[in-house]
Structure 1
Amino acid sequence: MSVNKNNWAKKCLSPWLLLLTMLVALLPLQAMAAQAEAEAEAEAEAEATVSKNVVAVNQVFQLSVSVDTAINPDSVDFSVLSPNFAYGQPSVSSSTSLINGTMSRNTTWTIAVAAKNVGTATIPAFKIGSSQTTPITIKVLKGSQKNNSTAADQANVRVTAEIDKNALYVGESINYRVKILIGEQLSQASLSAPSGDGLTVSQVGQDAQNNIVQNGRRYLVITRNYQITAEKAGKVIIHGSRFNGSAIRGANGFSSGITIPVKENARNISLNIKPKPTDYKGLWLPTPDLQLQQTWQPQVSNQNDVTTKVGEPITRTITLRIKDVAQSNMPNINLIYPDTVRIYNEKPEYRTENGYSVMTLKQVIIPRQVGKVALPPLTINWWNTTAAKQQRSEIAGLTINVIADPTANNQFSPPATITPPAATATTNPVKTITTAGIWPWATLVFAILWIITLILLLKKRQQQIIAPTPITTGNVDVVSALENAVNSNDPIKVQTYYQQWRQQQYSILNTQPQLLQQLDDEVKAMMAAHYSPLDSQWNHQTLLTLLTQAKQLKVIKQTSIALTNLDPK
């Protein structure tokens, strides 16, 4: 039994003994390899070379560092270049050759480098193991001393600028267009606006991009427009836009390249700013073109023969287009209307269109009294910078004949002034009139419905059913259009459709003067909320509720007419 145990122990220990023997045998070999590598590093020769030793500032050249042995790729510290050179990420290559039975190895680092300053710069020695490279002296020249290759690099980024004209008046604007031609890979690019003493500069629109080919080379072109406005007379210099970015240069299959700062300026441009003429009258508006137009709604065919009713709105839209004038210099249009009309001004709308600043002003005019009403004209004086003379643009006014609306009350007329009676010795008791409210009408509705039910039961018993005949008023489209206009919060349409509906339904609405007055007041509240200069809100649900009540009046009247047509037999 003991013999078997010994055999089993020998079988289990055999693999472990074999592994331990192999490890012991490898230790001398590893030590020998380490010693051989150390000896190889000690005996290795390191060398540094450059592709150019006379360069320009920011011109990229190649630096190669090699050692005739296989070595760790992280053995070279390139941070020693930082004070005087910019550099990229190095690429490492290793090679092994066997010639006449002799084996040789080589490791090479290749990196893109560019000098930062003019003068003499030194690439320091690199220590590899126990050996080191020899320092290299580089001569760095100014940009004007670059060779043809460097001049081609300079053409990789170009900035150009142009303006419409060099002579303009105080308050006039010109367009400044700057283009950037980019022929290489860039990062972190930016463009500053032009500047000048007494000039106001603002960017117009978004940048535009396109590609062009010049002398067989493709460029990306970025175009940006600025509006420059002169604020004072005299000679002024426009300092060109400045471009700043970083170019990635020197990248190839062996190196990742290097980031080089790029700075280019557009040319400076001289301006001659003329003063305002001393004999000019009115608001100063220098421009080569000014256009003043207006439209009326409803359309007007004869300026002196327009008839409308009290309360019917007229919409006047005035459009002013001025070339080469900043939006901030557009004039304010202020027209004085007679007291016999109510005016609602919408906020002016501004836009830029083909070099013109365009302002659109919409006014809603509602006559309040019967009679002739003269709506004022508008005249604008401006200075024609092309012809160098003062000009005048004008739009005509409008004379309207306002007639009474027989179906309307005096909700658009100004309230009458009540003069209190003279005080007397006797004080009369005050009489308070209380309005019954809606309950009498609700009672009437329930009574009418009860009568209809009773009559129908009697007719059913007699087997004679007589259906009431509905009345068609033909105004369903007007009611729908009015409700749609209220829901869409369109005050002009609401005012127009309401007047039509009010005229058609006046015979019914006149039976409820309180409801009619509430409808008129709510329409006025809507117009005031929409066109008031104050920021006020209007709830359209109130007007919709009143319209629903008014439609119920129509149903009640139809039902009462139908009851009179019933045959009591």
Structure 2
Amino acid sequence: MVTLCLDYSAKKVVNLLQSVALLLLCLSLSPLQAATLLQASVDKNPVMLGEELLLQIELDEKVSGNQLDFSVLANDFNFSAPAISQSMQIINGRSSQSTRWQLSLFAKKTGTFVIPSFEIDGLRSEPITLTVVPADPNGTGSDELFIQSSLSSSELYVQQLAYYEVKIYFNGDLQRGSLSQPELPGATIEQLGKDVEGSELVNGQRYQTITRRYTLIAEKHGDFELAAPWFKGEMIDRQSSRYDYFAKTKTVSAQGQVLKLTVKPIPDNFKGQWLVSELVALTEEWTPPGQDLTQGEPVTRTITLTALDLSDHQLPDLNFSLPDGIKSYAEQPQSKKAERNGRLVAQKVFTSAVIATKSGELVLPAIRIPWWNSKTNELSYAELPERTLKASPNPAQPEAQAAAEPATSVTSTTPVTATEPVNPWHWSYSSTVLLLLWLSTLVLWLAPKFIRPLQQKTAIQTKAQTQALHHSSVLKFSSRKLKAACLANNGTEATAQLLQWAQQGIDPQIMRLSQLLTHLPDCELRREVEKLCHQPYQSNPLQWQGQALFEAFAKYKHLQQLPVTEPLKPLYPA
């Protein structure tokens, strides 16, 4: 029995070796054939706009996958990266190999196009003439993935804002993907907010959705076409997921619709800076509220320009004049925008400190901004009506003016004291020399007796000044005293009050105006303090005027108390 088993195993091995030898012989006898055919084909012709078209190119030889360049298709089609496969067959002892490229094409517009021929090692495929017809308006495309795009309005004015929306519908497990960026010559397109995920029923079937919105502002008039959006992604292959726990992914793609847009020029009857919207409004607030002012004391005026469906950079500045008796110190306008209920709201806030320089009734002129109502298609105005303010006299100002009158009289008598009376006594040069010699001798004799007491007196005075300075720093700063000193043009008292304010509110080590300047930003208060600092070195010390310093100080303190940021004001004020 053992001998029989060994004989049977030996026969089996011999048969296997004979089969392998026969196979090798057949392979060696079959000649190696070079590539002889390159074919290109499409799965449908004609094709609807937005419908996927499969292009397949096959070569009867095994070659590298990067032998073909598909960039020649970019002018007329959107396409994904090709899927490359290779195969080999042996039939009746003859072997054959092939390389296949397959990719998805989406036509960018309707018409007749030519898919050009491709070439590999001298072999060329035949070109394909393709017809692209308009899409069915009632159709949605593939049941697995499709795109819909829309514009809020197909007719716009120059610089009018429109909303462009792209919505991706998919039925399956979408892993990742990318959406093309919309482009339109002569227009500014920006994404509005973040992508919104949701779900919708379409023809009785539930789809998951991803919505992306843009703002579109056309800068030129004419007729335009907004290119169709194109999406490419990866989705779980449902067929493979049924049998494999680690399901494979497949490449999916879809294309939306081409949208036509008409942009109209600015109407001839519009005068002023062009502004187009459905709603533009002007509002104002006063802090503290009311219509009563006090001469020399600042109040805050806040004017807010609000517009619907506009970007913040499109809002104009305000141009208006103020009557005599009112000074205004404006801040840099603040622009902001926000999305509310799917629409863009833009605001520009103008804040200024208003100071009445005289008492009585003061009339602020009306403010009007022309704008074009895109809803009613007519000229409109955003307006703040004329406003009458009552400025009451400042109780401290008459006293300050009265205190300033003696200083004015001193100024008028100063030139009189400059003339000296004529002395009848004759003084000779020899008398002068003798007097100088006598004074020198007297100084040398008396100097030791007076130097030491003088040093002691100087030390006592320095200590007294230091104590006085410390005492002054303890005193509480009074804005009323600063105001009285400025209105009286008293530079010495104004300096003392400013130093007290600086020591208590900025830095206790500030002892001079030059030190205060290093802590102030570039503003009107800094420039007025510089004038006060240089005032003692002027040829006429009494020429300094303090009202400008106090107004600058009041504005600086007022702006320091304003909040840094403010919330967006309501579109429809109460």
Aligned to 2:49: none
Q: CA deviation digits over 1:2-29, x for unaligned, max 9?
A: xxxxxxxxxxxxxxxxxxxxxxxxxxxx
Give yes or no for contact 2:301–2:353 (8 Å, CA) kept in 1. Answer: yes
Aligned to 1:283: 273
- Tell me how far apart the structure 2 counterparts of residues 533 and 224 of structure 1 sit (CA, whole Å): 50
Aligned to 1:266: 256
- Tell me how far apart the structure 1 counterparts of residues 257 and 266 of structure 2 sit (CA, whole Å): 29
Q: CA deviation digits over 1:522-569, x for unaligned, max 9?
A: 8999998598899xxxxxxxx9xxxxxxxxxxxxxxxxxxxxxxxxxx
Letter in 1 for 2:167: K
Tell me, yes or no, if structure 1 residue 386 matches structure 2 residue 375: yes
Give yes or no for contact 1:312–1:499 (8 Å, CA) kept in 2. Answer: no
Aligned to 1:341: 327
Q: State the secondary structure of the residue aligned to 2:270.
A: coil
Give yes or no for contact 2:193–2:213 (8 Å, CA) kept in 1. Answer: yes
The structure-2 alpha-carbon separation of the partners of 1:519 and 1:282, relative to structure 1 and needing over 3 Å to count, comes to farther
**What number of residue pairs does the alignment pair up?**
377
Letter in 1 for 2:262: N
Show the 5 A alignment for 1:245-256: 245-249=233-237, 251-252=240-241, 253-254=243-244
Q: In the TM superposition, what is the alpha-carbon distance from 1:266 to its structure 2 partner?
A: 2.0
Q: State the secondary structure of the residue aligned to 1:284.
A: coil
- Tell me how far apart the structure 2 counterparts of residues 275 and 364 of structure 1 sit (CA, whole Å): 36
- Tell me how far apart the structure 2 counterparts of residues 356 and 410 of structure 1 sit (CA, whole Å): 55
- Tell me how far apart the structure 1 counterparts of residues 469 and 81 of structure 2 sit (CA, whole Å): 98
Q: In the TM superposition, what is the alpha-carbon distance from 1:212 to its structure 2 partner?
A: 3.4
Aligned to 2:389: 400
Equivalent residue in structure 2 for 1:371, among 359, 381, 405 = 359
Provide the identity percentage.
22
Letter in 1 for 2:357: Q
Q: In the TM superposition, what is the alpha-carbon distance from 1:142 to its structure 2 partner?
A: 8.8
- Tell me how far apart the structure 2 counterparts of residues 39 and 408 of structure 1 sit (CA, whole Å): 126
Aligned to 1:294: 284
Aligned to 1:516: 497
Q: State the secondary structure of the residue aligned to 2:317.
A: coil
Aligned to 1:331: 316
Q: State the secondary structure of the residue aligned to 2:88.
A: coil
- Tell me how far apart the structure 2 counterparts of residues 41 and 336 of structure 1 sit (CA, whole Å): 104
The structure-2 alpha-carbon separation of the partners of 1:41 and 1:374, relative to structure 1 and needing over 3 Å to count, comes to farther
Q: State the secondary structure of the residue aligned to 1:251.
A: helix
Letter in 2 for 1:331: P
Aligned to 1:124: 87
Equivalent residue in structure 1 for 2:169, among 168, 176, 181 = 181
Tell me, yes or no, if structure 1 residue 320 matches structure 2 residue 305: yes
Tell me, yes or no, if structure 1 residue 226 matches structure 2 residue 207: no
Letter in 2 for 1:278: D
Q: In the TM superposition, what is the alpha-carbon distance from 1:225 to its structure 2 partner?
A: 1.0
The structure-2 alpha-carbon separation of the partners of 1:513 and 1:389, relative to structure 1 and needing over 3 Å to count, comes to closer
Give yes or no for contact 1:55–1:140 (8 Å, CA) kept in 2. Answer: no
- Tell me how far apart the structure 1 counterparts of residues 338 and 196 of structure 2 sit (CA, whole Å): 17
The structure-2 alpha-carbon separation of the partners of 1:267 and 1:444, relative to structure 1 and needing over 3 Å to count, comes to closer
- Tell me how far apart the structure 2 counterparts of residues 115 and 349 of structure 1 sit (CA, whole Å): 45
Aligned to 1:351: 337
Q: State the secondary structure of the residue aligned to 1:516.
A: helix
Q: TM-score, normalised by structure 1?
A: 0.51
Aligned to 1:474: none
Give yes or no for contact 1:211–1:221 (8 Å, CA) kept in 2. Answer: yes
Letter in 2 for 1:402: A
- Tell me how far apart the structure 2 counterparts of residues 359 and 164 of structure 1 sit (CA, whole Å): 22
Give yes or no for contact 1:193–1:201 (8 Å, CA) kept in 2. Answer: no
The structure-2 alpha-carbon separation of the partners of 1:214 and 1:169, relative to structure 1 and needing over 3 Å to count, comes to closer
- Tell me how far apart the structure 1 counterparts of residues 335 and 328 of structure 2 sit (CA, whole Å): 22
Q: In the TM superposition, what is the alpha-carbon distance from 1:157 to its structure 2 partner?
A: 1.9
Q: In the TM superposition, what is the alpha-carbon distance from 1:332 to its structure 2 partner?
A: 1.7
Letter in 2 for 1:439: Q
Aligned to 2:155: 167
- Tell me how far apart the structure 1 counterparts of residues 377 and 305 of structure 2 sit (CA, whole Å): 21
Aligned to 2:198: 210
